[in-house]
Amino acid sequence: MYPGTDESGDGPHGALAFLSQSENRVGVLAALSDGAPRDRYDLESAVDASRRTVLRVVNELSDRGYLRETDDGYRLTALGAHVHDQYAAAVDGLDAVAPVASFLAAVPAGVVDFDLARLADAEVTAATPGGSYAPLDRTLELRRGASRIRELAPGVERRSVEQIADRVEAGEDVEIEVVLTPASLETAESEDQYAAAHEAVAAAEEVALYLTPEPFELPVSVMDETVALVSGGMDGRPDAVLETDDPVVREWAESYIGRYVERAERIDG
């Protein structure tokens, strides 16, 4: 068989599927990835498998051109080393986003253009049956001490509006920029529970309000150095909030909010 091909003829393009079907295949490649030769006994110990299993795996990898037998033992080929490195990178990439996978499952594809591995250390606060307000509570906590706030607001929530109104009425040194949708603006202006606080916010010099006709693909806030990505929140109460201080994510968030601001209409003052 020609090296690098298999019976299905898919060549190296089927490498990920081939390796994912067997931990022993991955284990043998990993055992040889440092470039040093290994004999059969070393490989049996490395993958904790029987002689028969190791021989079968070695033959499979050899048929694909991933390794070859030398006088010193088995060694990876250049193709085998590349396949191992790419497979390990793919696994690492998936592992990196595992802690925030449930949040990312609610984010449309194509919205973010940074490496999602940047979110590996992010924290997610999600609503639960006994804590449906937990994401909102966390968002308000993040905003409470921030001196610079930029956000896309798909919905309105009483405590959120009142928090901003209280800060500007108290004369705090803050700079706030909020982009509203037509629905959220109508609610803020017409509902008794919001109207007074919204009027105070709209009249404040520290606040810039904008109206966008476009729906938000992903509600985003920047609060000083912290970025908050929001899942849900059309009624002002988010389903989950992801927070990160990663500078690359923050640069993306500033640009993302800025694109809405550029196309929006200034409505305060």
The residue segments making up the domain with residue 113 are 106-266
> In terms of domains, do 76 and 113 share one?
no
> In terms of domains, do 190 and 89 share one?
no
Question: In angstroms, rounded to a whole number, what is the distance separating the alpha carbons of residues 102 and 122?
Answer: 13
Number of folded domains that form the chain: 2
- The answer to whether residue 191 sits within a structural domain is yes
CB atoms within 10 A of CB 151: 23
Whether residue 3 has pLDDT greater than 50: no
> In terms of domains, do 18 and 71 share one?
yes
Per-residue confidence (pLDDT) for residue 193, from 0 to 100:
87
243: nearest Cα among 108, 103, 147? 103
Residue 232's SS3 state is strand
Per-residue confidence (pLDDT) for residue 6, from 0 to 100:
46
Residue 192's SS3 state is helix
Of 69, 98, 127, which marks where a domain is finished? 98
Share the mean pLDDT of the chain.
Answer: 89
73 bridge partner residues: 70
Mean pLDDT over 175-203 rounds to: 91
Of 98, 119, 141, which marks where a domain is finished? 98
Whole-Å CA distances, 249 to 39, 98, 222, 260: 46, 18, 10, 17
Mean pLDDT over 85-104 rounds to: 89
CATH of the domain at 89: 1.10.10.10
Mean pLDDT over 31-39 rounds to: 94
Per-residue confidence (pLDDT) for residue 99, from 0 to 100:
85
Of 39, 67, 98, which marks where a domain is finished? 98
Whether the model pTM is above 0.85: no
> In terms of domains, do 141 and 52 share one?
no
- The answer to whether residue 1 sits within a structural domain is no
> In terms of domains, do 84 and 212 share one?
no
Residue 206 main-chain phi, psi, to 5 deg: -75, -10
Question: In angstroms, rounded to a whole number, what is the distance separating the alpha carbons of residues 8 and 137?
Answer: 55
